[in-house]
A and B are shown apart, each in its own frame.
Chain A
Amino acid sequence: MEAEKRAGLWELFFTFAKIGALTFGGGYAMLPMLQREVVERKGWSTEAELMDYYAIGQCTPGVIAVNTATFVGQKTRGDLGGVVATLGVVFPSLVIIVIIAGLIHNFAELAVVKNAFAGVRVCVCVLIFNAVVKLFKSAVTGPATAGIFLLVLLGSLFLDWSPVAFVLIAAMLGILLQNIKERGKRA
Chain B
Amino acid sequence: MMFYVQLFYEFFKVGLFAIGGGLATYPFLHELGPRTGWFTVEELADMLAVSESTPGPLGVNMASYVGFSTGGVPGAVIATLGLVTPSIIIILIIARVLRAFRENRLVDAAFSGLRPASTGMIAAAGIGVVELALLNPELWRQTGRLADLFQWKAILLAAALLVLTRWVKWTKKLHPVIFIAASAAVGIAFSFAGA
Contacts and interface: CB of A to CB of B under 8 A. Distances in A.
Interface of A: 20-33, 36, 48, 51-52, 54-67, 70-71, 74-75, 79, 82-83, 86, 89-90, 92-94, 96-98, 100-102, 107-109, 111-132, 135-136, 138-140, 145-146, 148-153, 155-157, 162-164, 166-167, 169-175, 177-179
15 contacts: A26-B57, A26-B58, A51-B114, A55-B118, A59-B20, A62-B87, A63-B60, A64-B22, A66-B59, A79-B92, A94-B77, A98-B68, A126-B179, A153-B124, A163-B20
Tell me the interface secondary structure of chain A in the complex: helix
Contacts of B118: 51-52, 54-55, 58, 135, 139, 167
Given A28-B126, A122-B133, A130-B165, A178 B112 contact: yes
A144 B95 CA distance: 27
Nearest to A152: B120
Given A33-B176, A74-B91, 14 more contacts: A22-B177, A29-B129, A52-B114, A55-B114, A61-B18, A66-B57, A66-B59, A97-B68, A98-B68, A98-B73, A118-B187, A119-B188, A145-B113, A179-B109
Contact of B121 (A36, A113, A136, A156): A156
B176 to A, nearest CB: 5
A175 B129 contact: no
Interface in B53-109: 53-61, 64-65, 68-69, 73, 76-77, 80, 83-84, 86-88, 90-92, 94-95, 98, 105-106, 108-109
B5 interface: no
Contacts, number: 378
B131 to A, nearest CB: 10
Interface stretch (B30-38, B138-146, B154-162): B154-162
A115 B56 contact: no
B133 A124 contact: yes
A26 B80 CA distance: 16
Taking residues whose C-beta sits less than 8 angstroms from the other chain, chain B's interface range is 35 or more
B192 A118 contact: yes
B183 A120 contact: yes
A148 B12 CA distance: 34
A41 B118 CA distance: 23
Contact of B21 (A27, A93, A109): A27
B57 A82 contact: no
Contacts of B19: 58-62, 162-164
B61 A93 contact: yes
A52 B89 CA distance: 18
B126 A60 contact: no
Contact of B92 (A74, A112, A139): A74
A178 B84 CA distance: 36
Contacts of B98: 52, 56
Nearest to B154: A122
B87 A148 contact: no
Contacts of B187: 115-120, 122
B180 A22 contact: yes
A59 to B, nearest CB: 7
Contacts of A67: 87, 91
B57 A115 contact: no
A45 to B, nearest CB: 12
